Amino acid sequence: MIFIKRKILVIINIAFFIFGCNKDGGFNSAKEQKIDFDKFTLVTPKDWFRFYPQGTDGFYGGLTNNKDTLYFDYGVFSFSSIDDIKQNSETIRFKELRVGGIHSKIVLEKRVGELQERFSFYSDKKDGVNLNRIYCYSPTNQALVERIFLSHRFK
């Protein structure tokens, strides 16, 4: 009996994975937009827009809806390796997962010297080139920001 229950649970999980997920992270063109950052894409509500600050020495930029602002830092200078992102005394929440098939981590932390909590997403294709860190400070809608994180796809 236990074997049959486990088998049914496995079948349900597989069906959910196959039918509940899609390649682009759940993109709904009626309410959302896919923002192309040349090296990766993110899906956001339609009121978000991207920006690129002047004078950066790497591929750096962000997006905002004028309530929350997310910053990204793409490339080999963003962080050394996904394996180096670990829980520590500043960690409030830590999640390891695969986003778009890529090793990723979502971290909520309160760093010493910073007044606000930092909510970060790290993704590492492990090819020495495609590393991306997206972060924000004390988002007003943490669930929405996490959904944006989970829509991340390297190109």
DSSP string, 78-99: T-S-GGG----TTEEEEEEEEE
**Confidence (pLDDT) at 26:** 56
pLDDT digits (tens, 9 = 90+) for 14-46: 443 334 344 444 568 889 999 999 999 999 999
Query: Does residue 128 lie in a domain region?
Result: yes
**CB-count burial class (<10 Å; 0-12, 13-18, 19+) for 50:** middle
Query: Does residue 122 lie in a domain region?
Result: yes
Query: Does residue 34 lie in a domain region?
Result: yes
pTM: 0.80
Query: Does residue 15 lie in a domain region?
Result: no
pLDDT digits (tens, 9 = 90+) for 71-121: 999 999 899 999 999 999 999 999 999 999 999 999 999 999 989 999 999
Q: How far apart are CA 43 and CA 116, in angstroms?
A: 25
Structure tokens at 60: 């750096």
Structural domain that includes position 33: 24-154
CB contact at 8 A, 47 and 63: no
Query: Does residue 105 lie in a domain region?
Result: yes
CATH of the domain at 84: 3.40.1000.10
Number of domains in the chain: 1
